[in-house]
């Protein structure tokens, strides 16, 4: 068990909270403040306990001086200040006397937001390479370190692993929930456990397949990756996306876990991945060489739902079709709709899968929709995330 923010006496302490404020910004405006809203629980808790808050986050990709111009956290400070109804002092630097003085002058319950940690990546990638000197410098600004940025916990950066190794540390409420939800389901699932896997490529999900195939009772495979499995069974899959290098891997998995793995029996095809593509439904056995499978068909939806109906836990990673295009979104929508109305444990992992269910308005209908794309995938692979590993044990 990892220490959490609740395990510390925060009164009068300088608390560094690594948040995930990596929000979408367009024309200098935040277009979706969900990540800031999600961080409020931990921030408000620390304020209530009388901590002096030093917030850190990355924002976007920062590879050049030019990238800095569009990736300043200043807009986040403004929005956060509105949300917590108090001043958030923005420091337009990641180090230096302005920052140090602001930290020294903090009173209990006051909040500072430091500039984008990835500004330290120009030119020498100090943040992303977990530079020792940078992490030491940042750690000296605080008494306690709290990691509440799940989305970057699969990376060992100076602002997470680096600082955590140098200060008493714990996780915030968001990270605590992710560990509890995904971790517990994998370690000790309420059975039957069914995993739905989709998305485009087998190669992106090898680790997830290898880990979950051992744990799950059933694995339903949809999306682009289904076609590599179907081809591995010797079926014609037309011009559907196929991962040739992983054909043998799929063959092995199919042989070894034959009863567990459920593949689609029909598809919705198009001639190309495009809004203008006409959707044609067919049995898998009727696919010809020009057909590109872009969604699972109605019979497969029913087949999958049959398995979901006998499950007590469902983990879903990867849309079962090209859900971004209306005529190929039915499978993903039908599964989201079915799961949203079940009284079972439902865990959604993966950036696109989360986006798909949130777009359908189902965020609150699932037990847990993970906030971290890559980080949730790595947890599903059974990997221990470095940003969490570095936190003190309780």
Active site residues: 35, 201, 351, 374
From the list 313, 353, 370, 371, which residue makes contact with ligand ADP (rule: CB under 6 A)? 353
- Side-chain-facing half-sphere of 282: CA atoms under 13 Å: 18
- Exposed / middle / buried, residue 124 (Cβ in 10 Å: 0-12, 13-18, 19+): exposed
CB of 323 to Mg ion, least distance (A): 11
Task: Give the span between the Cα atoms of 348 and 354, in whole angstroms.
Answer: 6
**Gyration radius of the chain over CA positions:** 23
Q: Least distance to Mg ion from the beta carbon of 377, Å?
A: 8
Report the DSSP pairing between strands 169-171 and 144-147: parallel
Q: Which does 317 bind (CB under 5 to 8 A by kind): ligand ADP, Mg ion, none?
A: ligand ADP
Residue 223 interacts with ligand ADP (CB under 6 A)?
yes
Helix, strand or coil, per DSSP, at residue 266? strand
Q: Which is nearer to ligand ADP, 113 or 354 (CB)?
A: 354
Question: How many CB atoms are closer than 10 A to CB 204?
Answer: 16
| Interface with Mg ion, residue 352, by CB under 5 A | yes
Phi, psi of 277 (to 5 degrees): -75, 130
The correct pick among 303, 308, 315, 322 for binding ligand ADP (CB under 6 A) is 322
Count CB-CB contacts under 10 A for residue 164.
27
- State the binding partner of 211 from Mg ion, ligand ADP, none, CB within 5 to 8 A by kind: none
Which of ligand ADP, Mg ion, none is residue 223 near (CB under 5 to 8 Å by kind)? ligand ADP
Cβ(379)–Cβ(349) under 8 Å?
yes
Of positions 350, 372, 386, 387, contacts ligand ADP by CB under 6 A? 350
Segment contacting ligand ADP by CB under 6 A, of 92-100, 164-172, 199-207, 255-263: 199-207
Q: Closest-CB residue for Mg ion?
A: 352
- Asked whether position 238 contacts ligand ADP by CB under 6 A, the answer is no
* Nearer Cβ to ligand ADP (189/319): 319
260 token code pair: 């567990």
Judged on CB neighbours under 10 Å (0-12, 13-18, 19+), 85 is exposed
Whole-angstrom distance, CA of residue 164 vs CA of residue 181? 23
Strand, helix or coil at 270?
strand
Alpha helices in 233-276 (DSSP H): 247-256
Does 293 participate in binding ligand ADP (rule CB under 6 A)? yes
Q: Are 379 and 187 in contact (CB under 8 A)?
A: no
Binding segment for ligand ADP (CB under 6 A), chosen from 14-22, 160-168, 181-189, 316-324, is: 316-324
Question: Which listed option, ligand ADP, Mg ion, none, makes contact with residue 238 (CB within 5 to 8 Å by class)?
Answer: none
Answer yes or no whether residue 92 interacts with Mg ion by CB under 5 A. no
Stretch that binds ligand ADP, among 90-98, 211-219, 350-358, 360-368 (CB under 6 A): 350-358
Does 207 sit near ligand ADP (CB under 6 A)? no
Restricted to residues 354-373, the positions that interact with Mg ion (CB under 5 A) are none
Prior bond of 192 cis (ω within 30°): yes
Stretch that binds ligand ADP, among 140-148, 198-206, 282-290, 334-342 (CB under 6 A): 198-206
Chain positions contacting ligand ADP, by CB under 6 A: 198-200, 204, 223-224, 241, 293-294, 317-319, 321-322, 324, 350-353, 373, 377
């Amino acid at each position: 068990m990892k220490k959490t923010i609740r395990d510390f006496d925060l009164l009068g302490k300088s608390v560094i909270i690594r948040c995930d404020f990596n929000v979408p910004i367009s024309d200098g405006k935040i277009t979706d403040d969900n990540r800031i809203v999600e961080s409020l629980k931990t921030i408000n808790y620390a304020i209530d306990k009388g901590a002096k808050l030093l917030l850190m986050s990355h924002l976007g990709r920062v590879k050049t001086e030019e990238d800095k111009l569009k990736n300043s956290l200043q807009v986040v400070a403004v929005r956060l200040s509105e949300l917590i109804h108090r001043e958030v002092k923005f420091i337009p630097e990641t180090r230096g006397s302005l920052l140090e003085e602001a930290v020294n002058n903090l009173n209990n319950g006051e909040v500072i937001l430091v500039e984008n940690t990835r500004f330290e990546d120009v030119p020498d990638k100090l943040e992303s390479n977990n530079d020792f000197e940078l992490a030491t410098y940042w750690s000296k600004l605080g008494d306690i370190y709290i990691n509440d940025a799940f989305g970057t916990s699969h990376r060992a950066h100076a602002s997470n692993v680096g600082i955590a190794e140098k200060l008493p540390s714990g996780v915030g409420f968001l990270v605590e929930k992710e560990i509890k939800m995904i971790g517990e389901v994998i370690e000790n699932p309420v059975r039957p456990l069914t995993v739905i896997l989709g998305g485009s490529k087998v190669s992106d999900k090898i680790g997830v397949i290898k880990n979950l195939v051992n744990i799950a009772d059933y694995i339903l495979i949809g999306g682009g990756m289904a076609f590599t499995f179907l081809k591995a069974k010797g079926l014609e899959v037309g011009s559907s996306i196929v991962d040739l290098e992983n054909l043998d891997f799929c063959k092995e998995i199919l042989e070894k876990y034959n009863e567990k793995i459920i593949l689609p029996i029909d598809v919705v095809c198009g001639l190309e991945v495009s809004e203008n593509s006409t959707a044609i439904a067919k049995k898998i056995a009727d696919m010809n060489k020009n057909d590109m499978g872009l969604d699972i068909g109605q019979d497969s939806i029913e087949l999958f739902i049959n398995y979901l109906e006998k499950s007590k836990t469902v983990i879903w990673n990867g849309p079962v079709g090209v859900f971004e295009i209306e005529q190929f979104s039915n499978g993903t929508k039908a599964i989201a709709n079915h799961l949203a109305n079940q009284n079972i444990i439902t865990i959604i992992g993966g950036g696109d899968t989360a986006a798909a269910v949130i777009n359908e308005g189902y965020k609150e209908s699932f037990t847990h929709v993970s906030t971290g794309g890559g980080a949730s995938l790595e947890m599903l692979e059974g990997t221990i995330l470095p940003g969490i590993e570095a936190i003190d044990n309780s």
